[in-house]
Amino acid sequence: MPIAHSLNKVSKSISKSKGSLHIKGRKFKQLNRATLRDQKLNDRKLKAKDIRDKGLLSVKFLQEAIRNRPERDVFTLDDMKLFIEGYISRYDEELETLRHDRRPGRPATSRQQILEEKVKHERQIYETGFKIPDLSNKDTVEKLRLWTGSSGGTTVMKFVHISKDMTVLPTAEVEMS
């Protein structure tokens, strides 16, 4: 099986060859394969970045919450639960506005359906265990306050899963991935 080359290499190689590309020619097919391969790789990169960014939204929300409380070095389990509930309810005002503006008997707008699904999904995650930085650890709180927003910055933080019915803070840390 031949080695797959990047689109840049293939197009450079084809541009050096003399003559034009024929639709059924070998060089055209080679360029087409390289283009499709490049598109597939870019799509995967974008999808992975999207997933990473969605995971960092909750961490960014927590960073804002603890920056508003500079006098505290560590937070309790109840504080963490309040932060998570605040994060989940961040769309409540917009949802209430969308519900109020809709005429009776009319179906929900697509924006309202999307927001309701997001909130429902986050509530289900909260029931099973929401992954957040361990705010009971002083080092993690300091690192979160200084965090710049990059996904690489979260690797030095300790994470825990917090569920709605939890009464005791877990001791085992979870790696951010």
Check residue 64 and give its pLDDT.
Answer: 93
Check residue 60 and give its pLDDT.
Answer: 94
Residues of the chain with pLDDT under 70: 1-2, 171-177
Question: How large is the angle between the packed helices 110-128 and 92-101, nearest 10 degrees?
Answer: 140
Check residue 151 and give its pLDDT.
Answer: 84
- Classify domain 7-162 at the CATH superfamily level: Translation machinery-associated protein 16-like (1.20.1440.170)
Check residue 176 and give its pLDDT.
Answer: 56
Residue 172 DSSP symbol? S
Check residue 174 and give its pLDDT.
Answer: 55
Check residue 1 and give its pLDDT.
Answer: 47
Q: CA-CA distance, 107 to 23, in Å (whole number)?
A: 50
Task: For 77-133, give the secondary structure using H, E and C.
Answer: HHHHHHHHHHHHHHHHHHHHHHHHHCCCCCCCCHHHHHHHHHHHHHHHHHHHCEEEE
Report phi then psi at 32, rounded to 5: -65, -45
HSE, CB side, 13 Å, CA atoms: give it for residue 122: 20
